[in-house]
Amino acid sequence: MTYDPATTDPAAFDDQRCREIVSHALGLPSTRFELTGKRPWQMGGWLADSYRAGRVFLLGDAAHVTPPTGGFGANTGIQDAWNLTTKLVSVLRGHADPGLLADYEPERRTVGRITVEQALLRARDRAQVPIEDRPLLSEAAVAIGYRYAMPRDDVAADSTLADEPDRWRGEPGTRLPHLPFAGPKGLRSTLDLVRDGRYLLLAGPQGHTWTQAARELDPQGALLDTALLPAKITSLSVWPTEACGIGDRGALLVRPDHVIAWRTAHAVPDALTVLAAATRQAQGLDRPATP
């Protein structure tokens, strides 16, 4: 029930009035249910000033609160947890430098800010919510169309932080696109190729030099999985390589949270050196030592 606290005292919603409201909403007599509690609630949106204090990390509703419009709260909280836990797993396994954890706040707080803003924009016609006028993004753009700022990006600097998911073409910082393809056990998705907290080297159909470099870089297979994109998927309007922004001999490096860490559109003379540098960057291993 909505009410204006400037003109209506919340105490006016006594037990009798609340029973009448619920009875009318359910179409049932008040004897058919029990009123166990009631309280006033104010719609609004909040974002924590920081997502981290030393060894303490905030995520979910502890980091951001959104109004229910759009239904973004659970998705955003789950993404926080996925982003943070994949980093923690990499660090605890010894695959990444502890400094990698410093990326959690700038990556997820930016998404949290956009999400809170978009939820408030959707709520402003239903409640007096003060919010600066901004373009209204689609629910898909808010939920999965975000782009993290990535070091050593191979695309031009772009201030866009969220867009329609199908407009992205494998830019570092965006999610690996879902591309269905036929596998030995039936239809699969490129998203299924990322597994068990590992990185994925996904190359074009003729990107064998990249998969060979990955095997040389990680001969025990402890860190990297490899796969080649199919040349053509008949159910798609774009070629898989086009959807990923690479050529037939290009490659992507995908983080355990399905985010693209690095890409190249072409083959290079020394694939091993290039891939090793990209992997170290993704793992935070070429940064100044953390105190």
- Read off the pLDDT of residues 237-272 as tens digits, 9 standing for 90 and up: 678 888 999 999 999 999 999 999 999 999 999 999
173: left (phi over 0), alpha (psi -120 to 50) or beta: left
243: left (phi over 0), alpha (psi -120 to 50) or beta: alpha
Question: What pLDDT was estimated at residue 130?
Answer: 63
- Going by C-alpha positions, the residue among 238, 240, 237, 239 that lies closest to residue 229 is 240
- Domains delineated in the chain: 1-40 (no CATH), 46-144 (3.50.50.60), 180-283 (3.40.30.120)
pTM for this entry: 0.84
pLDDT, one tens digit per residue, over 8-42 is 898 999 999 999 999 999 999 999 999 999 998 87
* Beta strands 224-228 and 199-203, pairing class: parallel
Mean pLDDT for all residues in the chain: 88
No. of helices (H) and no. of strands (E), the chain: 7, 10
Distance CA 19, CA 47 (A): 35
Question: What pLDDT was estimated at residue 196?
Answer: 85
Q: Residue with structure tokens 């782009």?
A: 147
Question: What pLDDT was estimated at residue 57?
Answer: 98
What lies within 8 Å, CB to CB, of 178 at 6+ separation is 189, 190, 191
pLDDT, one tens digit per residue, over 107-123 is 999 999 999 999 998 88
What token pair was written down for 172? 């570092």
Question: What pLDDT was estimated at residue 291?
Answer: 41
Question: What pLDDT was estimated at residue 288?
Answer: 56
Question: What pLDDT was estimated at residue 155?
Answer: 42
- Mean pLDDT, range 152-164, rounded to an integer: 61
Neighbours of 188 (CB within 10 A): 14
